[in-house]
Structure 1
Amino acid sequence: MAFEQMRKLAVSSKIFTQINGLKDDDKQAVSVFLNRFRMGGDIELIPLQGASDYLLALPKQDLALVLKLVGNVYLTMWVGGRQQAVAWADMHRCEINSRTRSVQVYEVSTRAQEKEDKQKPSLFEALTDEQLFSIGLPEERLAVVRAVTDESGLVGIQAQLPERVYEMLTWFVQGESWDRIVEAYREDVEDQKAMPATESGLLDSGHFRIVESEEELRDIMDKPLAQWRVFLHPSQRQLVDRRWHGAARITGGAGTGKTVVALHRAKHLVELPDWTEKDRLFFTTFTRNLSVDIEAQLRTIVSREHMKRITVLNIDAWLATFLRQHGCAKSIVYPGKAESVYERAWRAAMIMKPMDLEFSDEFYRDEWEEVVLPQHCHSAKDYMFAPRNGRGVALTRMQRKAIWPIFEEMRMQLNLHDALTVEDASEVAIELIRKTYPNGLFRAVICDEIQDFRPDTLRLLRALTADISKEDPFKEGDLFLVGDAHQRIYARPISFSSCGIEIRGRSRKLRVNYRTTDEIRRVAETVYVGKTVDDMEGGEDEKTGYASLRHGPDPIVHKAESAHEECEWILSEIEALLKSDRGYTESDICITVRTNEQLALYESLLSGRIHIRRISRDSADDPELPGIRISTMHRIKGLEYKVVFVAGMNRGTFPLELTDKEDRDQTSLKQHRRAEEALYYVACSRAADVLFLSCGGIPSEFIPAE
């Protein structure tokens, strides 16, 4: 068929969701129809009466598709039964805003307009009419917006506003400055991929996707569950497509789409026209399980051929492999189990502890892990002049001299076992890379959960790829770092610049939570009320993200006397969820606990009553597999579920009470507390729709007041 006969088609995110609810034969009918329509097939379109001039198509009997022609593009708006399709068209307007030129869809309310309450000020009284119109508010909606006096009122009129307008008004209510809101919108509009243009208006990439090929349409229709694969909010899209002239950093609270941006950035880079056969991209993260999940997600958006250009591995696994391949016979060892090489070496080193100093054993351990290893002190002189910022206890030169033999002995013990700490292993790798691969090993490195990286691994990342801010001619690549300091559960605060990574002018923050309801977001953030968190560049960050655009029930709190009683309650709630009309399946529900011991206990109490599936450390969680998920809080980091039970929130268990609390200094105790708060934030923010918080004993201080 001639190219001139083809029609330009855009699939909407709304229809994307509706297709998922159709029967298989109806899905097939819609898919066949859309492809035939796009290819220029002779198809009857029935005009519908109304201000929006919709067109009705009938893929099969009693299955209707609502279309809208905007310029040279047909927008798919709604799919379902014919009567319902006509009713939807009567209730919704689709038009091009005269101010912003954007295509807007919103509900035309048939209810009587509420009169403005003169006793209460309008929530938007600080904004002029012109300011409201400038972000795309339809003039006919002005009175409705002016009548809003509180946040619940804004939620109540959500359907009556274009989604982008509702989003920006929500930003304003949550404390964002109007100038920043307008600036963000202007940045989106100026990005042609974020707001692609038709002959008469702009399409929001978060709601519409112009289909470029039959293969793309087939892929969209075959896998309609994961909307993130297809639709990116304009603020996300511009971060993906931007030509960053150096290392870039993307931050944002849980649910703001940071990982989605990182995944699409990888796809964007390996599909660049100038990507050669020698070019490689490294996608890394801190933990093994996260890298497993990321690789599975990448394979849903990147072709098999392009995946050959990408290496996905957690940083420690990559480091061990690299050293082994380059002749280093030493193994990398980690602190942890009592009989590990690391812990046996430390016990042997503590024999060198000076008897005339009254520091605790834990003090020496912290000194080793927080001063000696990060700063690569290999001699007494190195240690003598090493900064000890934040350690809390000052040391004289004589005291440092007396302490140094402990650390010297530790390295000797490790050497006897042909072992290296990860910090020293990173130092060896960096030297190897600089000598052998002066331009780095990869054209680009993308790193998720960057807040959990140690200084040595940050320096390793810098060595792995060239700093393109210093290159001429410019070739897109370098570092793309994604994270959130509020979710730091492993590493201590550190600034990028101190590790040789310069991001000034190339840092952006995602500000809207698209995953969780606002009710869940508020509860998740309670541990940070009145507190600040470092911004990974020497400053402080107060906000974890702004309000979610979604709303739902308040999180449910239950206090049981025992774990057995708590599990009986969990079972009853799960049964009710699965029987409800909300369509939840087993794989939509996850139970998470703080420790591995709790995991074994709760798994044993629930098994046999319901189908339980423990989330593997070695493979991605396949939503197609049946079973209620159960996991520790560390394992579900980076995942999301419609329903989450944060269970076993007992005093002493969560936050976890330290057995050696008396031996730790205030800095160490503060860091432990922050890590536990971050785990609470991570666990709660995995829930999209419903959150349950429970204990089986004395309640934790983290359990909200009922």
Structure 2
Amino acid sequence: MSQNNIRRFAITRELLTALSKANAKQKQAFAVFLNGFRMGKPFDYLPLVGASEYERIEISDDFEVVIKRNSDIHILLWLGSLVDVKEWVSTHKCEVNAVTGTLQIYQIASIPSKPSPLPVQDEAGIFEKLSDEELLSIGLPQELLPKVRSVTSQADLETLQSSFPENVYEALTWYVQGEDWEQIKEAYTDAYSDEKAIVPTTIGKLDTGRFHIVTSDKDLRSVMDKPLAQWRVFLHPLQKRIVDNAWRGAVLVTGGAGTGKTVAAIHRARHLVQLPDWKDTDKLLFTTFTKNLALDLEQLLKQICSREEMKRIQVQNIDAWLATFIRQHGADKIIVYPGKKAGIYETCWDNAWASFDQPQGMNRTESFYRSEFEEVVLPQHCMSNRDYILADRKGRGSLLSRLQRKAIWPLFEDMRLQLQLQDAMTVEDAAFFAVQEIKKNYSNGIYRAVIADEIQDFKPDMLKLLRAIATNVRELDQPMEGDLFLTGDSHQRIYGRPVSFSSCGIEVRGRSRKLRLNYRTTDEIRKVADAIYEGITVDNMDGDSEKTTGYAALRHGAFPETHLAKTFADEIAWIIDRIKTLQASGYTTQDFCVVVRTNDLATTYAQALKTQGIAVHPISRNRPDDPDIEGIRVTTMHRVKGLEFKVVFVAALEQDNFHSLSEEDPVQAKARQSQENALFYVSASRASDLLFLSAVDQGNKFFELVSKKVLLA
């Protein structure tokens, strides 16, 4: 077949969703049809009366595809039985917007999920401050202006969601949530003027978040491979612009849980290694904070990258990368970490503490001195008494005079001696050593590009390490794409502390972008996850702070449910009852995840479920989760990061299961509370459809706090 006969066509996100619900015979018939269709095989185009001009093609017995076309391009919109197809076209318009020129799909006969409230006489519309021209400028169809003017509350807007083109509803939602209209328009103007994000065709501009133009047989096979994994194929224009932009420097991408930061990072990696000027000697490091997240990321990369592309990408968590570098560059020491029972770090600390005589008049706990070592001495690389006296203790809360610092320095000096005797070094010292070696031996980094996910958990020394190993394109005579691409969310910071990027040599001002659309959860789940941060200010990793996570979820569902059990057995019975009820409605065991605070709790809950005949599959720290393995997932709040499930139980929310929040240092107490908030936020936001929260009644304040915020949400 001649290349001239190959049809140019696009498929919609909705079509892949419909295809995922088809039976095996129908999926096979559609695959055969698509191959022939692409290669120019003739088909009969049958008329189809609907809200817009459509046609249909019979794929097999009572299985048809809806098409909109011209001589240049075909748009495959939806598929199903003839009855379903006729219903879809009667309720959906597909037209080019007169202002933006984009092809839009939206419903004209949607059924509200709840009755609309009775209108109040003279009640002001929430969009009254916006002129018709401003509303039309974002792509609102002229005919829908009266609907927008009738909206008097966010609840009104939600009932009309399907009546608006998707991007219009997004913009209106952000406005209702308090975003500045000019900033909303600017974001859409930038994204929708990018011909990679909004592809021009003779039938209209196609939004990459909803339409995908098939470019090759390989592309077609990739699209059909996993129709539900739509992140592989469709990128929202705001994501697409971030991914494909020719950045000339470090980039920071932020956004709440589920907004697609990791998806953007993965697509950015593929974009970079596909560049025409990417040389065989160029390397890309894709890194993150923990080993298990790195394993998950590698699996996701393999879903969109070819084998040749994967050869150009090294995926490794930052600690493992650093350990390898230290071994290969002559430090001849092992890196040790606090927290491991009977580990070298803990043994060294115990030895130093046992021989330390606390200065007279300083009645402090051991935890105070240890946090002083880990929060002041190590990050600032204090190697002498003088270094420590001059060290910045901002944020420590309790003041220490020069004499007091001099009096307690022997403890820290002894700790360093203990580590030296064990041929060990802390991660802070290891990163500092690596940066010095890299600066001496590599004029401008080791990698052409470094992509780092979950950047909020990186400590200052690790950020400095990232800056050292990535090519700083701003220092090149001939600028090129590469450098640092960082993604994260300060609301999910469960390891590190707030840190200034610029103080670590990373300049992202002017190249910082925020994603604001939640792809994962329902809005009801989003509100509950967000509620833990009510009234709390969090840094935005770009030099400022913010009070809200600042993103919208466009899906809706059941409100999360809470349960305060009388006993552990009662809590397990409640979880099992919910699981069995949902299984009866079609959920599989792989759709569920029980999340608890610690590894010991995970073992306890897994065993309790097994005892009651529930198939369980604990999620390992050392390998990615395999969705094909049956069993209810059970894991910790730390390990669940980066994953998502249809149904999540956040269990064991008793006060005793969380670190003490009553530190003697108020600054430390606040930092500890922030970590616990982040762990809850991470856990709750893993759920896409349903969220359940439970605890055993011990009069615990943490669950009371969570429950209260859930009710307020």
TM-score interval, smaller chain: over 0.9
Q: Which letter does structure 1 place at the counterpart of 2:87?
A: A
Partner of 1:437: 442
**8 Å contact from structure 1 (residues 116, 146) kept in 2:** no
**8 Å contact from structure 1 (residues 523, 555) kept in 2:** yes
Q: Which letter does structure 1 place at the counterpart of 2:639?
A: R
Partner of 1:288: 291
Q: Which letter does structure 2 place at the counterpart of 1:439?
A: N
Residue 220 in structure 1 maps to residue 209 in structure 2: no
Q: What is the alpha-carbon distance in structure 2 between the residues aligned to residue 414 and residue 240 of structure 1?
A: 44
Partner of 2:686: 686
> Could you say what secondary structure the match of 1:387 adopts?
coil
**8 Å contact from structure 2 (residues 255, 515) kept in 1:** yes
Partner of 1:121: 124
Change beyond 3 A, Cα 1:72–1:424: same
> Could you say what secondary structure the match of 2:555 adopts?
coil
Partner of 2:522: 517
Q: Which letter does structure 1 place at the counterpart of 2:251?
A: A
Q: What is the alpha-carbon distance in structure 1 between the residues aligned to residue 45 and residue 483 of structure 2?
A: 49
Partner of 2:42: 42
Partner of 1:211: 214
Q: Which letter does structure 2 place at the counterpart of 1:429?
A: A
The gaps in structure 2 that reach 5 residues or longer are none
Residue 503 in structure 1 maps to residue 508 in structure 2: yes
CA shift digits 1:327-364 (9 cap, x unpaired): 33211111113421111111222223443241332221
> Could you say what secondary structure the match of 1:352 adopts?
coil
Partner of 1:631: 635
Partner of 2:647: 643
5 Å-filtered alignment, 1:644-683, equals: 644-653=648-657, 655-657=658-660, 661=662, 664-683=664-683
CA shift digits 1:268-300 (9 cap, x unpaired): 111111111111110111111111100111100
Partner of 1:166: 169
**8 Å contact from structure 1 (residues 255, 513) kept in 2:** yes
Match of 1:554 among 538, 559, 582: 559
> Could you say what secondary structure the match of 1:701 adopts?
helix
Change beyond 3 A, Cα 1:70–1:167: farther
Change beyond 3 A, Cα 1:544–1:362: same
| 1:140 positional shift | 1.4
| 1:366 positional shift | 1.3
Moved more, 36-45 or 416-425: 36-45
| 1:564 positional shift | 1.1
The gaps in structure 1 that reach 5 residues or longer are none
**8 Å contact from structure 2 (residues 534, 548) kept in 1:** no
Partner of 2:261: 258
> Could you say what secondary structure the match of 2:10 adopts?
strand
> Could you say what secondary structure the match of 2:304 adopts?
coil
> Could you say what secondary structure the match of 2:594 adopts?
strand
5 Å-filtered alignment, 1:390-539, equals: 390-539=395-544
**8 Å contact from structure 2 (residues 646, 689) kept in 1:** yes
CA shift digits 1:466-510 (9 cap, x unpaired): 211222211110011100111101111111111111111111111
**8 Å contact from structure 1 (residues 443, 477) kept in 2:** yes
Change beyond 3 A, Cα 1:118–1:7: farther
> Could you say what secondary structure the match of 1:47 adopts?
strand
Partner of 2:282: 279
**8 Å contact from structure 1 (residues 193, 238) kept in 2:** yes
| 1:186 positional shift | 0.4
Q: What is the alpha-carbon distance in structure 2 between the residues aligned to residue 31 and residue 65 of structure 1?
A: 12
| 1:111 positional shift | 7.9
CA shift digits 1:375-415 (9 cap, x unpaired): 11112222221111111122222222222221111111101
Question: What is the number of residues matched between the two proteins?
Answer: 700
Q: What is the alpha-carbon distance in structure 2 between the residues aligned to residue 401 and residue 31 of structure 1?
A: 75
**8 Å contact from structure 2 (residues 50, 86) kept in 1:** no
Moved more, 636-645 or 348-357: 348-357
Q: What is the alpha-carbon distance in structure 2 between the residues aligned to residue 49 and residue 612 of structure 1?
A: 50
Match of 2:622 among 618, 621, 625: 618
Match of 1:135 among 120, 134, 138: 138
Residue 300 in structure 1 maps to residue 303 in structure 2: yes
**8 Å contact from structure 2 (residues 595, 648) kept in 1:** yes
Q: Which letter does structure 2 place at the counterpart of 1:261?
A: A
Q: Which letter does structure 2 place at the counterpart of 1:517?
A: T
| 1:232 positional shift | 0.6
**8 Å contact from structure 1 (residues 117, 147) kept in 2:** no
| 1:49 positional shift | 2.5
Q: What is the alpha-carbon distance in structure 2 between the residues aligned to residue 674 and residue 605 of structure 1?
A: 31
Partner of 1:6: 6
> Could you say what secondary structure the match of 1:176 adopts?
coil
**8 Å contact from structure 2 (residues 289, 458) kept in 1:** yes
Moved more, 201-210 or 119-128: 119-128
Q: What is the alpha-carbon distance in structure 1 between the residues aligned to residue 368 and residue 71 of structure 2?
A: 70
Partner of 1:696: 696
CA shift digits 1:200-224 (9 cap, x unpaired): 4111111011000011111211211
Match of 2:271 among 268, 284, 301: 268
Partner of 2:68: 68
Change beyond 3 A, Cα 1:324–1:137: same
Q: Which letter does structure 2 place at the counterpart of 1:487?
A: Q
Q: Which letter does structure 1 place at the counterpart of 2:10?
A: A
Residue 90 in structure 1 maps to residue 90 in structure 2: yes
Partner of 2:106: 106
**8 Å contact from structure 1 (residues 256, 545) kept in 2:** no
Moved more, 696-705 or 41-50: 696-705
| 1:520 positional shift | 0.7
Partner of 2:384: 379
**8 Å contact from structure 1 (residues 423, 456) kept in 2:** yes
| 1:117 positional shift | 4.7
Q: What is the alpha-carbon distance in structure 2 between the residues aligned to residue 72 and residue 117 of structure 1?
A: 50
| 1:452 positional shift | 0.5
CA shift digits 1:438-485 (9 cap, x unpaired): 221111000001000111111111110121122221111001110011
CA shift digits 1:20-65 (9 cap, x unpaired): 1111121111112122112111111112124521110111111100
TM-score by length of 1: 0.97
TM-score by length of 2: 0.96
Q: Which letter does structure 2 place at the counterpart of 1:603?
A: A
**8 Å contact from structure 2 (residues 73, 201) kept in 1:** yes
Partner of 1:590: 593
Partner of 2:27: 27
Q: What is the alpha-carbon distance in structure 2 between the residues aligned to residue 376 and residue 230 of structure 1?
A: 46
Q: Which letter does structure 2 place at the counterpart of 1:516?
A: T
Q: CA RMSD in A?
A: 1.7
Residue 154 in structure 1 maps to residue 183 in structure 2: no
Change beyond 3 A, Cα 1:452–1:70: farther
**8 Å contact from structure 2 (residues 512, 542) kept in 1:** no
Q: What is the alpha-carbon distance in structure 2 between the residues aligned to residue 116 and residue 701 of structure 1?
A: 37
> Could you say what secondary structure the match of 2:207 adopts?
coil
